[in-house]
Structure 1
Amino acid sequence: MAGLRAQRIAVDEGVELHAWVGGQGPALLLVHGHPQTSAIWHRVVPTLAQHFTLVVADLRGYGDSSKPRGAPDHANYSKRVLARDLLRLMQQLGHARFSVLAHDRGARVAHRLAMDHAGAVERLVLLDIAPTLSMYEQTSEDFARAYWHWFFLIQAAPLPERLIEADPGAYVRDVMGGRSAGLAPFDARALAEYARCLALPGAAHGLCEDYRASAGIDLAHEREDRAEGRRLAMPLLVLWGEQGVVHRCFQPLQEWQRLADDVRGWPLPCGHYIAEEAPRALLDAALPFLQGEGA
């Protein structure tokens, strides 16, 4: 994260978020996915920092952010709470309104952030997801086999935590290397960072709690949105990997059109880990959108 400075900011009682901050221009929040950290953005940060003031955050439970013990109903790892964390982070850094670029789990948090705090989110880019409720409702054998971790991580503690903690580095390599491109696209330093962070006390538990919340309280929140007819009003760009599971098992653009008024999107020539597999293609797609071109 050359050119950015590390900060640690309190966002809730006993919870601090770690973030890299720097650049110039309007505010842009970057949010990572599983089993990664803010380091996923290392190939796009140099270009984005020329156009935006970046806040590159580690979610609660991940990276160098706090990892509180999960509540019995997993509510303190709900996407609603994680979104509130990010909102408070941005507000404390002086950004009342900002755009968001988010991948995987971070994109699910960004979806909730935009739904619950629409006035704060100017533009939204979501990478390689369909809405969580849609994905659970449309789960097929193909999807379940490919996204086995969705169903492993939601098992009751401490089973998945114990297995991950036995060899965090192997978990990172096996999960990430099991996708379409294998481990070839990843910088060895980034892989080492993911492994380091997953080995931190409480990290495996935080990761599992994120998924447990998605299989329970998060689905309730999305069903409430659907029942109340709530939609995303800000411009939304959805991008996904044409070699990935989301492309094979779902129709992401159609799914997001059901939830958003102003949405566009298309697949990129890569697998799931877009920012690391196809950084140039991501920048070519996201940068004009984030700068408001063609609006």
Structure 2
Amino acid sequence: MFEGFERQRVAIDETDLHVVTGGQGPALLLLHGFPQTHAAWHQMAPLLARDFSLIIPDLPGYGASRGPVPDAEHRQYAKRNTARIMARLMSMLGHDRFYVAGHDRGARVGFRLALDHPERVRAYAAVDILPTLAVWENMDWQHALSAYHWPFLAQPAPMPERMIGHDPVFYLDHLIERWAGDSKKLTPEAREAYRTAYRNPDVIAASCADYRAGASTDIVDDRRSRDAGQRIVAPVLALWGRDYLDDGVSPLTAWRAWADDVQDIPFDCGHFVPEEQPQACAGALADFFKLH
């Protein structure tokens, strides 16, 4: 995977990031989701590298990146802190302004990047998520069943860590099969990369810390931003899979609560849009970013 790309390590505060770079043109930061690694972008990267300089990290604590030690206040893995780290990464690599595309948890980091660092983000694409507050504030028993991992992973340590750690590959495969429209479209190489990463207890702990932040500090930060009237000034593109996110309402409505310039594109696939529809997803991102 990522033939012709470069790999490097970048130390920022308590993190030691594994970063893949390559391509030419304006900078595009690609942020993966849970329970994945940077490998989520491996089918799209060669397509996007024709027009963009790609920066593809493992998020702090995920994949081969070392993350901070989880803290009791859940600040270390708050999306605001991870966004700050990503902004510093881009500065260290020489990119003052850049595009951001994030899938799943990475899209939540991109959300805070666009809110907290508006001078840095030229345009933002969120792949198959609704804003965090929209998820929690609209969660009824039916949504709780379908998205049970949100409250489960957010339980206090070490309960989810021990349960997942008993058979991490089983749990990872369970999530992929549950969320994918067609799991066979996730390549064997990517699946093995995710399994290798998720066998690491530190990665399991970081992912749980990520979800604990999502159920606590992220909510506080987002509500404060909403109450203050803070909005995303960059153009926003919402890409989503009909097999996962469609409950009869387009994500467009949820994103317009946070930004004025929003468009959305649905795909006939499940949650893993960059892997289930790599060519269409890459084309949509390229067309969108080239306009901005």
- Matched to 1:122, the amino acid is R
**Cα deviation digits, residues 212-246 of structure 1 (max 9, x gap):** 000000000110111100101111101110111x2
Judged with a 3 Å threshold, the aligned counterparts in structure 2 of structure 1 residues 264 and 237 are, in CA distance, closer, same or farther, namely: same
TM (normalized to structure 2)?
0.97
Mapped to 1, the partners of 2:11 and 2:204 lie a distance apart of: 21
Q: Is the 8 A contact 2:182 2:276 kept in 1?
A: no
Aligned residue number for residue 25 of structure 1: 25
Q: Which residue of 2 is the match for residue 63 of structure 1?
A: 63
Shift of 1:249: 6.8
Q: Counterparts of 2:183 and 2:271 in 1: how far apart (Å)?
A: 12
* Cα distance between partner residues in 2 of 1:9 and 1:91: 11
Q: How does 1:192-231 map to 2 (within 5 A)?
A: 192-231=192-231
Counterparts of 2:232 and 2:273, CA distance in 1? 23
Three-state SS of the structure 2 residue aligned to 1:283 is: helix
**2:258 aligns to what?**
259
In structure 2, give the amino acid aligned to 1:116: D
Kept in 2: contact 1:172–1:191 (CA 8 A):
no
Contact in 2 for aligned 1:143/1:249 (Cα 8 Å) = no
Quote how far apart the aligned CAs of 1:143 are: 1.6
Q: Secondary structure at the match of 1:193?
A: helix
Deviation at 1:250, TM superposition (A): 5.2
Residues 1:124 and 2:90 aligned together: no
Match of 1:146 in 2: 146
Segments ≥4 residues shifted beyond 6 Å? none
Confirm whether residue 272 of structure 1 aligns to residue 271 of structure 2. yes
State how far apart, in whole Å, the 2-side matches of 1:291 and 1:261 are: 19
Equivalent in the alignment of 1:114: 114
**For 2:34 and 2:269, how far apart are their aligned partners in 1?**
17
Q: Give the TM-score normalised by the residue count of structure 1.
A: 0.96
- Tell me, in whole angstroms, the C-alpha distance in 1 between the residues paired with 2:105 and 2:117: 18
* SS of corresponding position for 2:39: helix
For the 8 Å contact 1:70–1:76, the answer to whether it is kept is yes
Match of 1:5 in 2: 6
Compute the displacement of 1:180 (Å): 4.5
Q: Distance in 1 between matches of 2:283 and 2:8?
A: 29
Q: What secondary structure, in the 3-state scheme, does the structure 2 residue paired with 1:266 have?
A: strand
Deviations 1:94-134 (A, max 9, x none): 00110011100000000001100000000111001111011
Match of 1:158 in 2: 158
In structure 2, relative to structure 1, the CA distance for the partners of 1:181 and 1:159 (3 Å cut) is same
> Given that residues 78 and 217 in structure 2 are in contact (C-alpha distance below 8 angstroms), is that contact kept between their aligned partners in structure 1?
yes
**Aligned-partner Cα distance in 1 for 2:249–2:223:** 19
CA distance in 2 between counterparts of 1:250 and 1:204 reads 33
Q: Shift of the alpha carbon at 1:247?
A: 1.8
**What SS is found at the alignment partner of 1:270?**
coil
Q: Which residue pairs with 1:171 in the alignment?
A: 171
Distance in 2, matches of 1:143 and 1:4, equals 40
Written as runs of structure 1 = structure 2, the 5 A alignment for 1:227-242 is 227-242=227-242
Cα separation, partners in 2 of 1:53 and 1:180, compared to 1, 3 Å: closer
1-structure distance, mates of 2:206, 2:179: 23
What is the CA distance between 1:182 and its match in structure 2? Answer: 4.8
Q: Which residue of 2 aligns with 1:290?
A: 289
| Partner SS, residue 20 of structure 2 | strand
Other structure's SS at 1:162 match: helix
Q: Secondary structure at the match of 1:248?
A: coil
Aligned length, in residue pairs: 291
Query: Per-residue deviation at 1:167?
Result: 1.8
